Amino acid sequence: MYDVIIVGGGASGLACALTLVSSRGRGWSWAEDKKYLIFDKNESDLHKAYLKNVPGLQPMRGTELLQVIRKQIEEWGGVEFLQEKVVEIRRDGEAYRVITEEGKEYVGRYVVLAGGFKEFSIKGIDFEVLENPKSPKPGRVMIKHENYEVMPNLFVVGTLAGISSHFTSCAGSGVEVAVEILSRMAGKRIVIHDVPED
Candidates 20-28, 39-47, 147-155, 186-194; binding stretch for ligand FAD (CB under 6 A) = 39-47
Q: Does 5 bind ligand FAD (CB under 6 A)?
A: no
Least distance to ligand FAD, CB of residue 174, Å: 7
Residue environment code for 64-95, b if the CB has 16+ CB neighbours within 10 A, otherwise e: ebbeebbeebeebebbebbebbbebbeeeeeb
Choice between 1 and 57, CB closer to ligand FAD:
57
- Nearest CA-CA partner of 112 in 141, 74, 151, 138: 151
Which residues, 109 to 148, sit near ligand FAD by CB under 6 A? 114-116, 122
The per-residue DSSP string of 44-108 comes to -GGGG-EES-STT--SEEHHHHHHHHHHHHHHH--EEEE---EEEEEEETTEEEEEETTS-EEEE
Q: Does 17 bind ligand FAD (CB under 6 A)?
A: no
**Per CB under 6 A, which region of 10-18, 104-112, 123-131, 142-150 contacts ligand FAD?**
10-18
| CB 114 within 8 Å of CB 174 | yes
Shortest reach from residue 106's CB to ligand FAD, in Å? 12
Q: Do 160 and 143 contact (CB within 8 A), yes or no?
A: yes
Our finding on whether 85 is near ligand FAD (CB under 6 A) is yes
Cβ contacts of 136 within 8 Å, gap of 6 or more: 165
* Residue 107 found at the interface with ligand FAD (CB under 6 A): no
Q: Which of 24, 35, 41, 90 binds ligand FAD (CB under 6 A)?
A: 41
Interacting residue ranges for ligand FAD, rule: CB under 6 A: 7-13, 39-46, 48-49, 51, 53-54, 62, 85-86, 114-116, 122, 158-160, 165-168, 170
